[in-house]
Each structure stands twice: as C-alpha cells, then as structure tokens.
C-alpha cells in the first residue's frame, strides 16, 4: 500500500475535487494542527524501536478486525488505506461502510485526489 500511495502521489493529482466537503485551504490548516499527521514530528524513534505504533480497525461493537504494525514515524496514510482495503476485500460490494478516523478529513482528501 505504501508504494501504491507513493506512485499515486507522484502522478498528476485529480483536478476535479468536487467531492470535498471542506475547501483545500481549510484542510491544509487542519493538517498543520495535527502533530500525528506530520511525518517530520516523530513521537517514537526508529533508533530504539523497530515498531513505532499500532493502528487497528474495529467494528461498531468495538471488536478488533485487523491491526497493522506501524514501522515508520508519524501517522502515514498508507496504514489506514491498507486497513480500509482489507475491509473492502472481505465484505460484499453492495454494503455501505462508514468510517471514523481522527484525521478523516485528510484521508478523504487523499482518496479523492488519487486518480
């Protein structure tokens, strides 16, 4: 998933961002306010720890579905994308899914921009 995201970001971003609820300016300011979203600000050092955190996907009943082992500092989006991709691979295509995530506005922005 990390290489997929990197490849998608290196290409031309979508020009049609009509699906965004918030303006690009608002999202940029929001992104600046979240320390976890900034890869440059590491809360765990790779020097001392091979793993920097865990990210989990749980159902609405608080049951653990999947967990990813974060191995890079910062809350990189490819971890969330990997969990969401796994979820969609396991459920019927006609199901409606709602996601709650602490910086969901940034994930939505990325999903719309990836062509």
Percent of the chain residues past pLDDT 70, beyond the cut: 54
Distance CA 16, CA 37 (A): 24
- pLDDT averaged over every residue in the chain: 74
Task: Provide the number of structural domains found in the chain.
Answer: 1
Domain boundaries, position 40: 2-113
| Rounded (10°) CA dihedral 97, 99, 105, 108 | -40
Distance CA 22, CA 26 (A): 6
Side-chain half-sphere of 76: how many Cα atoms within 13 Å?
Answer: 20
**Per-state percent for the chain, helix, strand, coil, to nearest 5:** 35, 10, 50
The 3-state secondary structure of 45-68 reads CCCCCCCCEEEEEECCCCCEEEEE
Whether pLDDT at 45 is above 60 = no
User: At 15, is the pLDDT very low, low, confident or very high (cuts 50, 70, 90)?
Assistant: low
User: At 99, is the pLDDT very low, low, confident or very high (cuts 50, 70, 90)?
Assistant: confident
State pTM to two decimals.
0.63
């Amino acid at each position: 998933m990390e290489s997929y995201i990197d490849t998608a970001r290196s290409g031309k971003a979508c020009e049609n961002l009509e699906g965004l609820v918030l303006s690009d300016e608002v999202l940029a300011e929001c992104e600046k306010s979240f320390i976890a979203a900034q890869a440059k600000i590491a809360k765990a050092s790779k020097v001392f720890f091979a793993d920097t955190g865990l990210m989990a996907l749980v159902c609405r009943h608080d049951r653990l579905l999947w967990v990813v082992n974060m191995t890079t500092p910062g809350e990189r989006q490819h971890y969330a994308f990997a969990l969401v991709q796994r979820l969609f691979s396991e459920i019927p295509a006609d199901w409606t899914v709602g996601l709650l995530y602490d910086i969901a506005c940034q994930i939505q922005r990325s999903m719309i921009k990836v062509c």
